[in-house]
Chains A and B, each alone.
Chain A
Amino acid sequence: MISESSSPAVIALSGLTLRRGTRTVLADLTLQVAAGEIYALLGGNGAGKSTTLSVLLGFLRPDGGTVTVAGTDPVTAPDAARRQIAFLPESVALYDQLSAYENIAYFMALTGHEPTRGAMDGALDAAGLQAEARTRRVGGYSKGMRQKVAIAMAVLRDVPVLLLDEPTSGLDPRATADFNALLGRLKARGTAILMVTHDLLGAADCADRIGFLAEGRIVDEVRPADGIDVLALHHRYGEAAAA
């Protein structure tokens, strides 16, 4: 199934194939995400979701097909491609001995940015991290708080591509709603957002398109805006997605 957006693609995968030993992890995967679009990739364990992200980040070299991120090929120019990407992993890695401000300032400096305290506060406000926590070492943060720091970094980086790996896992409903609202703002800013998730309901809430990944290829794709039967989809793919 060909997956296309009407706008020019910022993320483009075409005929992507990746094998590990005798196992085919990605099989002719084709996918495009346009600027200002949120694409949710659903699938069970081993479906190829995280592998897809690793290819986009330039950490895995595909055996076939092409991939571009904001016009850059992450296979041949991984560092250049990564400069176009903000990535939010499922388990956010930060330096426990540093505060939220220090973590953000450090990672931003690595990308050549020196955000002011005001800019950091703006991003942290948008991410929803309480002001009094920002100067504390992140070693004492909950998973949700760490995620908010990572989201603030993504906001500050202002890059054309945002990759999310199970972004709402571990977040409470209120935090999930805040997060979805934030994604909406990033989308409005023109960011191309690709999220991989198990959470069909969450994806249906915020994604423009939802692709169902099985055995390395997209087997179905829906547009929530067109009106979808979430229950039916859940019955059809939920078992695999929740695996």
Chain B
Amino acid sequence: MKTVRLLAGNDWRLMARSRVAQLALLMLLALSIVAAVTAVAHRDDSNALRARFQQQADRAFDGQPARHPHRMVHYGHFVFRPLPALAGFDPGVDGFTGNTIFLEGHRQNSANFGDVRQSSLLARFGQLTPAFVLQALAPLVLIFVGFGLIANERERGTLRLLRVHGRSAAEVLGGKLLALGGIAAVLLTPALAALIWLVASARAEPLAAGLLALGYIGYLALWVLGIVIVSALVRSARGALIALLGLWTLTTILVPRIGPDIALRLEPQLTRLETDIAIQRDLQRLGDSHNPDDPHFAAFKARILAQYGVSRVEDLPLNYRGLVALEGERLTASLFDRYATAQFAQQRRQGTIATRLGLLSPAVAIRSLSMALAGTDLEGHRRFLQQAEAYRYGIVQRLNRLQAETVTYVDDGNRNRDPEAARRVRIDPRHWQEVPDFTYRPASLAERLAAAAPGAGILLVWLGLAAAAAVAAIRRLEETV
């Protein structure tokens, strides 16, 4: 081990005297620090803003005057998705999916106001976050610093000299791994500091933060192994640099970019417009509550009249319009749910394909692991959509029930003709105030760990392969000096 430290120490000394290495390291360190500080601040600001908007929306809803319950159904409500603590490290899909939904009757809206859609075009190139720096930029700096670690020694003849001085190929490889690993550790430091800060200040779970750190340590260790192995196997330093840049482009840029396209091609999905048209078509088939000849609602009416033992809706103890609203919402909501469930299932299948592409690219694997542990993956967005829909359905049906129970059928029918009826259908505002506020329940740690497992598994497979390649590189070094 002493020899390995000695070899690594010499490489650090040489790097310290190389302007290229100094510049690359300083630039990435500065980027890492800026990314850590801005990402944590952005997460805190966004969360504070969303909490403030949520409070305003809650106050606006609660503060509505006496109204007809169905007016409140259309008044609607906004809900916001709070950001998990570790979004300060990896905001994941949050910037793209939107973070607020307008909830209203008869419709299931999608989320709006993703950062990318709100910001300038620059944001579309990717937010500068610790996760992005470690996933994409750190490997690039490691390549520039490490491509010649062994190849340069071979070219200038010092590799032979090291061997002549009794150092084995394994020791040489170990020294190079330690040297580049030390650089990787320096690059990791600002990101790890950000994680510690998020645990201390934003109450991120220490286990999730620790595993996230471990994941990135494994990812950078993989790059360190890969760079040193390529440097050992390729004859010239120039060749090693070209090979490594090709590897970086393929695994960090190309596969992550074409992965979603491949997933989409294998699991094609309806566009938003196609989905809307399909839903409208199905809604028309469901039935029209305003058409007395509509078979579904005719049967519904007959069932209600029979249930209460009356022959006219005017004789029902409940407001029939309210009952129709309840039934109509039940039908449309179940239709929305069917589409949403199918879409989520398809997205999951696409996600599975994309994660499997991690077998081709460790960058895909670490991204999947990172977003899952941070709670900022697509699954977290789906949870928000599902919980928001459940909340919407709960509010709308609560208001429809109020219409059925507290507004009479006669007043409801006369409200546009009779001012007194119009006054009576406006119910007490305490009813809105009693509606519970929306509380987003994020995925539990166990759920996030399960979601991170495939990415972690793929990284481990890569590390195993790299270790085997390192053994081959040692043999090659023994033979080719």
Contact = CB atoms under 8 A, between A and B. Distances in A.
Interface in B145-184: 156-158, 160-168
Contact of B166 (A82, A89, A96): A82
A94 B14 CA distance: 12
A201 B174 CA distance: 45
A111 B160 contact: no
B163 A110 contact: no
A129 B140 CA distance: 42
A109 B6 contact: yes
Nearest to A93: B157
Given A91-B157, A93-B156, A93-B157, A110 B162 contact: yes
Contact of A111 (B163, B166, B168): B166
A110 B6 contact: yes
Interface string B199-233: 00000000000000000000000000000000000
Contact of A89 (B6, B7, B13, B160): B160
B439 interface: no
Contacts of B18: 97
Interface in A44-97: 57, 59, 79-80, 82-83, 85, 87, 89, 91-97
B17 interface: yes
Contacts of B17: 97
B158 A94 contact: yes
A95 B14 contact: yes
**Interface size band for B:** 20 to 34
B157 A82 contact: no
A49 B394 CA distance: 91
Contact of A79 (B6, B7, B13, B166): B166
A110 B165 contact: yes
Contacts of A80: 166
Interface in B380-421: none
A105 B168 CA distance: 19
A98 B13 contact: yes
Question: Which residue of A89, A98, A110 has the most chain B CB atoms within 10 A of its CB atom?
Answer: A110
B161 A111 contact: no
Contacts of B64: none
A160 B156 CA distance: 27
Contacts of A102: 13
Nearest to A60: B479
8 contacts: A57-B163, A57-B164, A82-B166, A87-B164, A89-B161, A97-B18, A106-B6, A107-B161
Given A59-B163, A82-B166, A110-B6, 18 more contacts: A57-B163, A79-B167, A79-B168, A80-B166, A85-B164, A87-B161, A93-B157, A93-B158, A94-B158, A95-B158, A97-B13, A97-B17, A106-B6, A106-B10, A107-B161, A107-B165, A109-B6, A110-B162
